[in-house]
A = this chain, B = another copy of it.
Amino acid sequence: MFRALFRFSTLALLVLSAHAARYPSFGTLQTTNSSGVMNVVINNTFSSINLFDLHVQSDLANLIEILQANGTDIRVVPESPLPFYDPGLPNMTFPVALVWNITQLPQATIAVIEGRTRGFGNEFLMSCDMRFATTAPSVLLAQLETSFGLNPGAGGGMYLAHEIGRGRAFEYVLASKDIDGATAARYGWINRAFDTSAELRDYVQALAARIALFPAAGIAGAKKGINAVSRPSMDVIIEYAQDIIEVLAETPAAQALSEKFIAATHNQSICPLELNYGEELVTLFQ
């Protein structure tokens, strides 16, 4: 049932500053790697809308495990069944641990957004260090769980409140509104929005290349300081996000809305409701 929330449409490019190494291919992730920068394209061929689903999450978890070992040259990643819990984070469910682990990476992480990114997709964005997008109409971000009778279960609302303030986080989370690239940049939801895809990619590649010049220990050290004050603590995420969504997910209201959504989108295929959820969601309540 959670699949309905994990949409991450169209292209997403994740740039990590890491030491050069050869990484294996991951089913839904295309990785290239040079001069200390790894480019990761999320391309979920199991889904017509590039859903941020368990395939992507599982592949990301495997990639992160390698990156946690700090870029060692590993050529094979065993295919393993998806564990519900990260063994190192026994109190976090798998998706919550996944995005938490991204915040803990010693490498710098930059998310590049050229499509819709809602729900858990946006929680993934918020767990990256930086976020860049274009002003194209295809870019729409949302933390939309409230419209399903749920809450952002991995702390996405908390990260948002730090970036855009309490009042605007309440507005976008409680109303489950879409935000476009230009407004997201003005509010601080993302770092910047560029007019064209080419400008976006040039900027991010130059930024990644620059960070990759610097000693890895300094990057990791500076990240710890900023995380210490700007990221919700693990305890707060568990108590005020994860524990709450586990209760809400069992309510008849939330289950009925998710079922209605799956039916209306023909199991999350391309359709007006998927493309313009922010406007079209009212049809679910008619």
Contact = CB atoms under 8 A, between A and B. Distances in A.
Interface of A: 17, 108, 129-131, 145-152, 155, 157-171, 173-177, 187-188, 190-191, 207, 210-211, 213-215, 217-219, 221-232, 236, 239-241, 244-245, 247-248, 251, 253-254, 257, 282, 285
Nearest to A160: B226
A158 B253 contact: no
Contact of A173 (B151, B222, B253): B222
**Copies of the protein in its oligomer:** 3
Nearest to A240: B228
Nearest to A244: B221
A217 to B, nearest CB: 6
B168 A222 contact: no
A240 B230 CA distance: 12
A226 B174 CA distance: 10
Contacts of A150: 218, 221
A167 B257 CA distance: 33
A254 B168 contact: no
Given A129-B167, A163-B165, A240 B218 contact: no
Contact of A236 (B177, B228, B240, B241): B228
Given A166-B231, A229-B158, A222 B191 contact: no
A148 B229 contact: no
A178 to B, nearest CB: 12
Listed from nearest, the 6 A-B pairs whose CB atoms lie closest are A149-B215, A166-B230, A151-B221, A215-B253, A129-B170, A228-B240
A10 to B, nearest CB: 21
20 contacts: A17-B174, A130-B167, A145-B222, A146-B214, A149-B217, A151-B221, A157-B225, A161-B229, A162-B166, A162-B229, A170-B223, A174-B211, A174-B222, A175-B207, A187-B188, A213-B282, A215-B253, A217-B254, A227-B240, A229-B236
A218 B166 contact: no
A244 B225 CA distance: 9
Contacts of A248: 217-218, 221
Nearest to A218: B149
A150 B240 CA distance: 34
B191 A171 contact: yes
A222 B155 CA distance: 10
A146 B245 contact: no
B282 A210 contact: yes
Given A129-B170, A191-B168, A191-B171, A147 B214 contact: yes
Contacts of A217: 149, 248, 251, 253-254
Contacts of A253: 215, 217-218
